[in-house]
A and B are shown apart, each in its own frame.
Chain A
Amino acid sequence: MNNIIVMPMMLPVLVGIILLFLRPYVKTQRTISLLVFLGNIGISVYVLQLIQQNGVMRLDFGGWQPPFGILFVADSFAMLLVLSSSVVAAACLIYSFSSVKPSFEKNFFYSFVLFLIAGVNGSFLTGDIFNLFVCFEIMLLSSYVLIAFGGKKRQLRESIKYVIINVVSSWIFLVAIAYLYGVVGTLNMAHISERIAEVGQTPMVTVISVVFLTVFALKAGLFLYFWLPGSYSVPITPIAALFGALLTKVGIYAMFRVFTLLFYQEQQITHTLIGILAALTLIGGSIGAVAYKDIRLVASYNVIIAVGFILVGLAVATPSAIEGSIYYLIHDIIIKALLFLLVGTMIAVTGQTRIDEISGLIKNHPLLGWLFFLTTLSLSGIPPLSGFIGKVLIGEGTVAAGSYVLLALAFISSIFVLYSLMRIFLTSFWGETIISKDEEVPAKKGWIVSTCILALGTIALGLGAEPMSVYVQDAAETLLNPQIYIDAVLGGN
């Protein structure tokens, strides 16, 4: 009995529902929702320790034994992501205390944030592929509501695009699940893996795996990222940060889970395809990141580059590359939230969105400037910050696998990341200060606090790579040996 592993999903759901009753009491809503995320951080650290001691944990809902019931499975990979999502959610929540309009707060803003996080954590933890679909939908439904908060023309347009793209991709997901169920006759992921292993990955199963790849590529922005920059640049700042940090990562997580646990036998087909898509994503993202002058779009294209980079690790699938991908995934969740919060703050204090209209910010906002510089360094992988270790390990993996094209593209893209952000730093923070101090909106305390928390996070993640490596290696080992996961799920209590 491991009821604790359901908490990262169900605690936000329960509290989100309770907050619906507390509509007028904004202060109470804030406190309670922050407490939930802090609680989730504690729970995920505790569960990580438990996994170290007892191996992969599972919880059968309603006591129905797998493969008949639905279940949650907590391995190190899932819990590391739950931990980072809780940290990011807490930071974004602190930011939104001082940036979200009171009218939004009274319209169930915090409830929907909690539901969003519940969907994200549920997707990380579930061990049933249909349940994965359901958790995706919980996450997407809340994101449909959150993206439209504000209701300006541009926001509505991008929301409509976002909703329709996601409905269509959910449809493909549902069809893929139907096909898979028709072929293997089960929905429990460990059981599917076992059945596929018994008969070998037939061409039919490989075709289904490519359908899954299409779905997750749409959700994660792997090559099919055309909808992403528009949608991620319209919502209000804390929501944009949550989207940029978490939503694409759920797609990436699903891809890792599905292609290491279920369809791992025909790597020359599926993983080559992922490699090609990752390469195209890196190229497209890099071009986008340097092509635009709207800083929100630059940040959105940086999300796309990171997606490509992480999936390079999955494409080569060597132990060190997978480990590097896990490091980079955690790093990217934290640093993308920080980047979006900083970009949102820059827009909030100046009221401008284009880099050539913002200049000399460092004079009035030195801390903001240096935080941005730190983010730039961390994103481009300068040691000792958190991006470094992931990049090195993925590089090592690609060299070991002999995929030098991916290696070259991955590291050239880092230069593009550096260039695109340095350009913002140099033009917007340096130069002549065109906006006088009293014209500017002063940066609020909550903005600084939340960005500082995340900045400390990236430093701590970089310096603490050594103590963290125990968990990351465990996560990589579970991903590379599906049998560990299968035994934990199907091997009795």
Chain B
Amino acid sequence: METLVTILAGVLVTVATYLLLSKSLIRVIIGTAILTHAAHLIIMVVAGLKTGTVPIVGEGDPVDPLPQALILTSIVIGFAVTAVSLVLAYRTYQEIGTDKLDKLRGNPDE
């Protein structure tokens, strides 16, 4: 199971890298979101995937409660970053009239 999820994380990183390198701004932002989710899978995998009981109060072999807390925090942060970059992309679209990154290139002295 760990191997499969690790491969899935790898696939997500591949997809995200492809999107990050594309010219469309909206694709780049989707790429960053997917990249963060790959990291979440990695956090989940390093702590081990297993079925266990509730930690502290449950009886028997408990699962590690920390990774889900880390992932939730990171999801919230990723959500905020994606939201901010979407607004930024929208402002850029309003200003330039396109979401193509190569149209943004220009003389630095302008």
Asked if A294 CB lies within 8 Å of chain B CBs, one says: yes
Listed by A's residue number, 22 A-B pairs whose Cβ atoms lie within 8 Å are A134-B77, A140-B81, A141-B84, A144-B81, A148-B88, A148-B91, A152-B95, A153-B106, A154-B108, A154-B110, A156-B91, A160-B85, A160-B88, A160-B89, A160-B92, A164-B85, A167-B85, A171-B39, A174-B43, A179-B46, A181-B66, A187-B66
How extensive is the interface on chain A, given as a class? 20 to 34
A239 to chain B, nearest CB (A): 15
Asked if A362 CB lies within 8 Å of chain B CBs, one says: no
In the complex, besides A153-B110, A171-B32, 12 extra interface pairs with C-beta distance below 8 angstroms are: A137-B81, A144-B84, A148-B91, A152-B95, A157-B92, A157-B105, A164-B32, A168-B20, A177-B43, A181-B43, A181-B67, A354-B109
Instruction: Please list the residues of chain A having a beta carbon within 8 angstroms of any beta carbon in chain B.
Output: 130, 134, 137, 140-141, 144-145, 148, 151-154, 156-157, 159-160, 163-164, 167-168, 170-171, 174-175, 177-179, 181-182, 187, 230, 294, 353-354
Closest to A162 in B: B88
What CA separation (Å) do A117 and B105 show in the bound complex? 32
Is the CB–CB distance between B88 and A159 below 8 Å? yes
Is the CB–CB distance between A153 and B91 below 8 Å? no
Is the CB–CB distance between B73 and A151 below 8 Å? no
Tell me whether chain A's interface is mostly helix, strand or loop, or mixed. Answer: helix
CB within 8 Å of A: which of B2-48? 20, 25, 28, 32, 35-36, 38-39, 42-43, 46-47
What CA separation (Å) do A354 and B84 show in the bound complex? 32
Out of B25, B73, B88, name the residue touching A134 (CB < 8 Å).
B73
Out of B20, B42, B91, name the residue touching A164 (CB < 8 Å).
B20
Is the CB–CB distance between A168 and B77 below 8 Å? no
Is the CB–CB distance between B88 and A178 below 8 Å? no
Asked if B80 CB lies within 8 Å of chain A CBs, one says: yes
What CA separation (Å) do A144 and B83 show in the bound complex? 11
B31 to chain A, nearest CB (A): 9
